[in-house]
Amino acid sequence: MRDAELSAALLHWYDRHARVMPWRVSPQDRARGVRPDPYRIWLSEVMLQQTTVAAVRDYFHRFTTRWPTVADLAAARDEDVMAEWAGLGYYARARNLLKAARAVVDAHGGVFPGRRDGLLGLPGIGPYTASAVAAIAYDEPATVVDGNVERVMARLYAVQTPLPAAKAELTALAAGLTPDLRPGDYAQAVMDLGATICTPRNPACGLCPWNHACLAREQGCQTELPRKMAKAEKPVRRGVLWLATRGDMILLERRAETGLLGGMLGFPGDAWDGRGGDAPAQAEWQDIGEVRHTFTHFHLYLTVLTAELPVGAAVTRGEFVPRDGFRPADLPTVMRKAYDQWRNIVPR
């Protein structure tokens, strides 16, 4: 098949099999003139970075219910946005989300730039997100390449070069297939193909609209592609969290805006994150065990120490808040693991 025939075949498949997403306009509605909301497309793409669709759906619903427009999000308090983001991970995304929303309002009159180049000027928006918003929201024929698309291209063309070295080649191949007509639907179609048919394991080749053109299927190596360089083993960091209470109060510390878990609420810790510090008070700290969490580049093992401080006791870090006055769900995952361990061991 020629590139144009491949693109047309995929769009025909997408018209019948498009996934239903809360941020997506169906191909039928688009044909009737319904336009995607750039705000919803951008928000979903930021949330979906290194996160599954299943994990994102509830977060997306909460965000768009609470902040239905980019202007609403731009006017939100930082701590409210960080709290709603808690548990989704990669917290720099939330900080950049606010920066970009405010830039859209302050510099663009509340309207997202309509071209990829303009979108790249917004904080936290890289080539992938800019291409996705430009294609899906504005029908610019921008090439959208995520992990699903890389896998589809590697198999369709039987690319043997391992990732990440193959990224440029796979992007060029994807660009050759991106049509001028319906590029937004095409971008979503090829991602859907990778997510539902051309899956990492046991691809459903018999259902694929490109199966007759797929070189990997012809060669019988589709399950072996894309090849990947062996990953280095993640290092392990160890540290301490201090979980202190005083009467019906619990000690929390808001982290610095930059760096790991930036801007999030948590418990005082030592220098496992390159910041840390000393214990927040002189006390008889009780070891209640260890929590483990994996970040992108390392595994973290944290010893949780707890103490009940006397009424009036001063602390050198953080602030006491009512135990019933904060939501544990506002904590990042590693801090919530420590809180859950404390709650299961220490009586209220």
Tokens of 125: 């928006």
pLDDT of residue 293: 94
- 238, β-bridge pairs: 301
**Residue 292 near residue 229, CB atoms below 8 Å:** no
Fold of the CATH domain 3-224:
Endonuclease III; domain 1 (1.10.340)
Amino acid at 288: I
Bridge partners (DSSP) listed for residue 299: 236, 294
In the prediction, which pLDDT does 348 show? 56
The domain locations on the chain are 3-224, 236-345
Known catalytic residue at 233: no
Residue type, 15: D
> Could you please report the per-residue DSSP string of 32-62?
TTPPPPHHHHHHHHHHHTTS-HHHHHHHHHH
pLDDT in tens, 148-165: 999 999 999 999 999 999
The token pair that represents 168 in the structure block: 């440029």
- pLDDT lower than 50: segments of the chain: none
Tell me the CATH number of domain 236-345, given options 1.10.645.10, 3.90.79.10, 3.30.70.360, 3.90.1170.50. 3.90.79.10
The pLDDT of residue 44: 97
Catalytic residue among 45, 84, 140, 150: 45
3-state secondary structure of 202: coil
Residue 310 DSSP symbol:
P
Q: Under 8 Å CB-to-CB from 193, ≥6 apart: which residues?
A: 10, 13, 148, 152, 208, 209, 210
Return the pLDDT at 326: 83
Q: Which pLDDT value is given to residue 321?
A: 92
